[in-house]
Structure 1
């Protein structure tokens, strides 16, 4: 992987459902991305290459497992291939906007191998709910290193 997606950005969703991806990642996503439902009512944005690896790993799950099949169907059915326009915008489908409950105010966070799109209020709530867990996990990881 040659791109690390890190940081927090606050683009606005326009009236046509377009969202501008962070300028520092425009070259990395120029070849196309896949937008899909993420966890916790967020959207995940993967470069095509990373999505292909994720898809291969997902498909490696047993086709005899009903839960694996259900996940595969749900995940791939929600995927939308996009090519950012010249201004770095992607158009988020109505289904994606509804799923993530996006308002005009959005947050794009780097999640290392992909980007996540959150409604700004939902992101603040998520951070508040998980701050204690984050602190505890960080302390445990530090203890393990020492």
Structure 2
């Protein structure tokens, strides 16, 4: 399980350090793709395969299903951790998530998320104000 928040810079070549606690769980190779809310999602290969299987079951006849799978898979890349514990994030993904300097790397259960610090701070502030309401809306899911 991934949890915690870390601050790292992304360099001009698109390399960012993956926190050592996350590297152990992600493995040497893992998948990074466009996430929701203008961040990137990173999945260990086994989690990616589970998600891939679920997405394959979506009906091809549904426009939203086609759109989501295109969005999700077209941005996906397999990343390899280098000897310094970094990965290289391709330019299209960096552009999507506005990753250009200071970044937040957060653990979210079965995935890791990469955020531009400013976007993360804004998202967190907005969510923090409505956290009680969000929790109340999720009560139907036995949380």
Please indicate, yes or no, whether the TM-score normalized by the shorter chain is above 0.5. Answer: yes
Cross-structure match for 1:34: 31
Distance apart, 1:69 and its partner CA? 1.5
Q: Distance in 1 between matches of 2:52 and 2:130?
A: 30
Cα offsets for 1:98-129 (capped at 9, x unmatched):
00011210000111100000000111011111
Pair 1:43-2:43 in alignment? no
Displacement, 1:30?
A: 2.6
**Paired residue for 1:106, among 100, 103, 115?**
103
Q: How many angstroms apart in 2 are the aligned matches of 1:108 and 1:100?
A: 12
Structure 2: gaps (5+ residues): none
Count of residues in Structure 1 that have an aligned counterpart in Structure 2: 141
Greater share of strand: 2
Output the CA distance in 2 between the equivalents of 1:89 and 1:96.
16
Bigger Cα displacement from structure 2, 38-47 vs 63-72:
63-72
How far did 1:79 drift? 0.2
Residue in 1 aligned with 2:85?
88
Give SS of 1:50's match.
helix
Distance between the aligned counterparts of 1:49 and 1:31, measured in 2?
A: 12
* 1:126-145 alignment runs, 5 A limit: 126-138=123-135
Contact kept, 8 Å, 2:12 with 2:100, in 1: the verdict is no
RMSD (CA atoms): 1.8
Question: In the aligned structure 2, how far is the partner of 1:85 from the partner of 1:37?
Answer: 21
Q: Which runs of 4+ in 1 moved over 6 A?
A: none
